[in-house]
Amino acid sequence: MNIGILTSGGDAPGLNAVIRGAVRKGIREHGFIFTGIRDGWRGLLEDDMYPLNEVDVRGLSGRGGTILGTSRTHPYSDGGPEQMKKVMAERGLDAIIAIGGEGTLSGAARLANDEGMPVVGVPKTIDNDLDNTDYTFGFDTAAAIATESIDRIRTTADSHHRCMVIEVMGRNVGWIALHAGMAAGAHAVLLPEFPVSYDQITAWVTSAWDRGRAPIVVVAEGFVPAGLDEAVSDKGLDKHGRVRLGGIGEHLAPIIDERTGIETRSVVLGHLQRGGEPTAYDRVLATRLGMASIDIIAQQKWGWMAALSGTSITHVEMSDAVDRLNTVPQERWEEIQILLG
């Protein structure tokens, strides 16, 4: 069998480990051959690909980014499925492993279920927002980078007796903020799933300050405060109703400064959280998911993806992983609140 592999959507630490795991297992156990597709669906639509062998994946488990490149090209653009089927036939591709997040896996599920294409998936996202898999690779690394950054920001905040607002990624969910905020001992943790008021944020900041601490506020990029001003909602929200990327930290800092009288600055961690080497946990998870994608292909379970359940790797239908977002549950919110302030 000739297997095409593509990585699509935002990159995540661990993508290269998936590629290595899949290629090694596929070659060693089944004698498959592999084709690396450049820049996600774009490469399949435009026939931009190259042979991928064991040597190409050597030493990849710890390398950040993706050797294949990525893009946000939609599989239904530019001629869509028909064009991809044509390219697959010309190239002799028997199956596609699509490694991606919600957008990629929804597209891949449609290609398999509606168009009958031999596509399997591997879930990827630093946001950890996919359902039917306990964790996605990339999340542990992003949370670790955010934690280390907050630790560093804390020493400068302590020295200057300032409040610091640290904005982390996560799109519409608060997993990175929750884990980094808990690991770094933040005084306020603000999640999209649980809007809190300006009064509550001010209370947490003031309580930390009154105990002689430089207040640390960790805010997920998708957080929108309860009671957001009309003026802000006019120009500060994107089309999904989120405060714009890079916006919420900057929005909150002057409000906290004004309400508490504590000098407050904001930092956006941004793409730092996606860059560089994956943690050991993400390397292992990504490698195992990559290897499992080969089992799924060998069983011809088109439309299925590898997933994590507890400590086991399982197979689930891709459509089930994208049906609903994996949001932070109420019990995790109640748990962190005890630590705040």
Chain positions contacting ligand F6P, by CB under 6 A:
10, 101, 125-127, 169-171, 221, 245, 274
CA distance 267 to 169: 12
CB burial of residue 279 (10 Å; 0-12, 13-18, 19+): buried
- Give the DSSP H/E element, type plus range, for residue 288: helix 280-298
Nearer to ligand F6P, 39 or 257 (CB): 39
Query: What type of residue is 330?
Result: Q
DSSP character string of 211-236? TT---EEEEETT---BT--HHHHHHH
DSSP for residue 279: P
Give least dist CB 204 to ligand F6P, A: 24
Name the 3-class secondary structure at 127.
coil
Name the residue with the smallest CB distance to ligand F6P: 169
| Minimum gap (Å) between residue 24 Cβ and ligand F6P | 27
Does 72 carry a binding-site annotation? yes
Nearer to ligand F6P, 118 or 192 (CB): 192
Question: Cβ of residue 1: shortest distance to ligand F6P, in angstroms?
Answer: 31
Q: Is 110 annotated as a binding residue?
A: no
Q: Which two tokens stand for residue 248?
A: 């919420």
In the residue annotation, 94 being an active-site residue is answered as: no
H or E element: which one contains 45?
helix 41-45
Would you say 104 is a known binding-site residue?
yes
**Nearer to ligand F6P among residue 101 and residue 215 (C-beta):** 101
Dmax (CA) of the chain: 69
Q: Which stretches of 125-170 are DSSP H helices? A: 139-160
Residue 9 CB, nearest distance to ligand F6P (Å)?
A: 7
Q: How far is the CB of 292 from ligand F6P (least distance, A)?
A: 22
- Is 242 flagged in the annotation as binding? no
Q: CA–CA separation, 326 vs 128, rounded Å?
A: 7
The upper half-sphere exposure of residue 199, i.e. CA atoms within 13 Å in the direction of its Cβ, equals 1
Catalytic residue among 48, 94, 114, 127: 127
Residue whose CB is less far from ligand F6P, 235 or 240: 240
**Residue 42 in marked binding region:** no
Closer Cβ to ligand F6P, 26 or 138, answer by number: 138
Phi, psi of 43 (to 5 degrees): -65, -35
Distance between CA 9 and CA 11 in Å, rounded? 6
Q: Which residues are catalytic?
A: 127
Name the binding residues for substrate.
125-127, 162, 169-171, 221, 265, 271-274
Annotated binding-site residues read 10, 72-73, 101-104, 125-127, 162, 169-171, 221, 265, 271-274
Q: Which residues are annotated as a binding site for ATP?
A: 10, 72-73, 101-104
Q: Which residues are annotated as a binding site for Mg(2+)?
A: 102
